Structure 1
């Protein structure tokens, strides 16, 4: 078992473990991470990972009580009713501050598990075990937790760092191809905001880059987690530099809301990145070659780069409620060039509409 370790210091120091075979040796690997003081563990998981959760429970229960909480798939998990269901289990089982929660699943589950861990007794130990590309490179790292409301995505949440993150690439072997590729939107984002090596690997051989068994794939996960780790370590609560991680997310989240969260996150963020690139071209003189390069990489991953013309007014209304807005001022992460992100404050929405017209299908 070869595992690489990336240390994150934002919100408290913890390690992101990236490799293969960690869950097949769950008790010997996760046992020391949990520590001897943990007597009870709640594993929060979606229905599709019921068998994996049950196996993990058996592996960990020799010296502790392990409970399971099955929650809905995808964004349906991120509701206050689901969080309350998890709180109820914790209360009935008498979980204390010395016990632990494991988030086993994609980004929605790790967001939910983090929020439950942050709020139960004002904070209990949290282990994140992401099982999608998106969750590995984004949702499980950095301590952002949250649930959705009818008004928008992630409007209720907390900054709460995990105790440890375990990225076992073996769990991706059976991930549906379209879901795996959707997660690559966040990897592409890391390439354009911070690390051009990511883009070079993707362009060299897209098939090997997206093969979970390849060395290139593991390298992309490590590079992307490294980008997030560096940014989060400097700005845990998003007061400054961490905002660059939102490249493509302002419009992307609005599209997710418009589609009632039936779209994969990566698909919406892909369009959001193209929108941010068009804004960058208009306001920062971002070279055409960079915009074209981004579009080519996203399309090589079969990710969408256009959206409906008639959706603009709805999208604009949702963006005005975005948590990154400041009063009536909309804020976007844009690029001066590759690895040169900056923040654009937009008081006049006409420029936003002009950029959007470049995306309409």
Structure 2
């Protein structure tokens, strides 16, 4: 097992990474301060792992709330249902919400915890690789609107993250690779040696070799923890973690959140951002090819669907939270490991890489 500590001003919490952690209740139960616990999960994950989690809740006043599986269920309506479940159990200010699931469950449960009595504790128990290396760490919570992804939310840090790699055995390969895309993203943003390590270990990672998997998760989480510690509420450096997201979120939204997994959108978005960087003379085209080669070797998509007009994707990109005062603000790069925030990118340049 490896532990990554997320250290913030006056607060810190552990990210535990390794096998058998859901069953290691003595470890995570110590992070629960009160007696009320609501476990939020979905209809796919609960039959697999809820039983193991419940064993660690003996003696507490706990309940379970399930949502349907999928990005389309990350809605205000489901937040309302979680809040009603907290009310029904008489949850007090020292209650805790446990998010058992992927990014959708974690975002929704965390946002619900942020809303109940203006903020109660929650613990992340991510069950997808994507949520282990990205959404469970850093305190971003929220829900989607028809107009765009994650437009409503709050920064609300968990009390702990329990990343049990045993749960990844039941994860479909497509979902697993979506998480690998987020690992690649962290290296592409600011850690060229890690990117080279991924190139050397790509086959073992895709095959879910445990030692390589724990190392990759820990290195990605450690990188993100450092960024979050320096910029918790995304006033500057933390925006770099969104390399590929402006393109990717727009592609996800255009597809009604059902065509692409988040990590697939990020993979395509990173390639588009790299191509745009090369087109603007910021980065060598060879680094785009290096990124393409790694993503393809890992079995990830690298091209956007032509089903959605470039003009529509651009329109959706304008709603991105990084934009300011009507100005398009993208995360681009100078090459592998050297991402930066670039304001005022021209529409024509964006349409050029989108094929419009």
TM-score by structure 1 length? 0.94
Residue 102 (structure 2) pairs with residue 103 (structure 1): no
Of the candidates 194, 219, 224, which is equivalent to residue 220 of structure 2? Answer: 224
Give per-residue Cα distances to partners, 1:206-241, cap 9 Å, x unaligned: 231223343111111011001110100000000000
Higher mean displacement: 288-297 or 188-197: 188-197
Residue 19 (structure 2) pairs with residue 23 (structure 1): no
For 1:52 and 1:193, how far apart are their aligned partners in 2?
35
Q: What is the correspondence of 1:67-146 to structure 2 with a 5 Å cutoff?
A: 67-146=63-142
The 3-state SS of whatever aligns with 2:31 is helix
For 2:107 and 2:253, how far apart are their aligned partners in 1?
17
Q: Structure 1 segments of 4 or more deviating over 4 A?
A: none
The 3-state SS of whatever aligns with 1:272 is helix
Higher mean displacement: 332-341 or 97-106: 332-341
The Cα shift of 1:108 comes to 0.8
Higher mean displacement: 347-356 or 268-277: 347-356
Label 1:220 to 1:293 Cα distance change in 2 as closer, same or farther (>3 A).
same
Residue 2 (structure 2) pairs with residue 4 (structure 1): yes
Q: What is the correspondence of 1:252-267 to structure 2 with a 5 Å cutoff?
A: 252-262=248-258, 263-267=260-264
What runs of 5+ residues in structure 2 fail to find an aligned partner?
A: none
What runs of 5+ residues in structure 1 fail to find an aligned partner?
A: none
The 3-state SS of whatever aligns with 1:206 is helix
Of the candidates 195, 198, 215, which is equivalent to residue 199 of structure 1? Answer: 195
Q: Does structure 1 conserve the Cα–Cα contact (< 8 Å) formed by 2:252 and 2:262?
A: yes
For 1:272 and 1:137, how far apart are their aligned partners in 2?
18
Residue 182 (structure 2) pairs with residue 182 (structure 1): no
The Cα shift of 1:150 comes to 1.1
The 3-state SS of whatever aligns with 1:23 is coil
**Partner of 2:294 in structure 1?**
297
Give per-residue Cα distances to partners, 1:160-192, cap 9 Å, x unaligned: 111111111111011111110111111111111
The Cα shift of 1:110 comes to 0.5
Higher mean displacement: 131-140 or 330-339: 330-339
The 3-state SS of whatever aligns with 2:232 is coil
Q: Does structure 2 conserve the Cα–Cα contact (< 8 Å) formed by 1:53 and 1:68?
A: no
**Partner of 1:63 in structure 2?**
59
Give per-residue Cα distances to partners, 1:68-119, cap 9 Å, x unaligned: 1101212123100000000000011110111100011111111111101101
Of the candidates 274, 279, 283, which is equivalent to residue 280 of structure 2? Answer: 283
Q: Does structure 2 conserve the Cα–Cα contact (< 8 Å) formed by 1:79 and 1:149?
A: yes
The Cα shift of 1:24 comes to 2.2
For 1:17 and 1:229, how far apart are their aligned partners in 2?
13
The Cα shift of 1:347 comes to 5.0
